[in-house]
Amino acid sequence: MTNILRIDSSIKGEAAVSRRLTSRIVERLLAAHPSANVVSRDLAQGIRQIDGAWLGSVFTAPEERTAEQAETAREADAILAEVKAADILVIALPVYNFAPPAQLKSWVDHIARRGESFVYTETGPVGLLTGKRAIVAFTSDGTPLGSELDHASGWLRQILGFFGITDVEFVAADRMVFGAEESLARAEAAVEALAA
């Protein structure tokens, strides 16, 4: 069975273009894989930012954790487990001020755990989350995908690759203020052209 993990991150809720695109992408995938299991996580509903207490919790042996540390580690482990179980990740990447939303960065921070998503070797880092595909719904008001102003898509491709996820595709509804209908039409066509 194919496992699909859908990650939304826009603070605009149902009005978000990125959410519209992640819905369309998941629909496209389900048409090809009707028995697929879909897990959804809306980061705009809240995700803890990592801090010293988080670090102490996830890197303390389970039997030595306090009750508070155990709860923090449980939440962090659940986020990581969703990614590990996924065959396909569908990730919303709305661009805020030329960069990814803080809540998407926090989600990545929960996943970036040495020994779980990557290891360091004598020849450099090696990602442990291999064999997965990521489809990213990139949306922006004015930032063109891949431009020198875009500090979001390159970062996400880099960190996913660091985790071993190198099959990464982007569907873009970018520069929306300069022609929303045209941009959305291009994005919808790109969704339809995705190999399912």
3-class secondary-structure state, position 41: strand
Phi, psi of 10 (to 5 degrees): -75, 140
Q: Are 60 and 26 in contact (CB under 8 A)?
A: no
Which residue reads 């009750």 in tokens?
67
DSSP state letter for 99: B
Rounded Cα–Cα distance for residues 93 and 165 (Å): 16
How many C-beta atoms surround the C-beta of residue 163 within 10 A?
23
Q: Which residues pair with 96 in a beta bridge?
A: 99
Structure tokens at 176: 């929306």
Is residue 153 part of an annotated ligand binding site? no
Annotated binding site, which residues? Answer: 10
Annotated binding site for FMN: 10
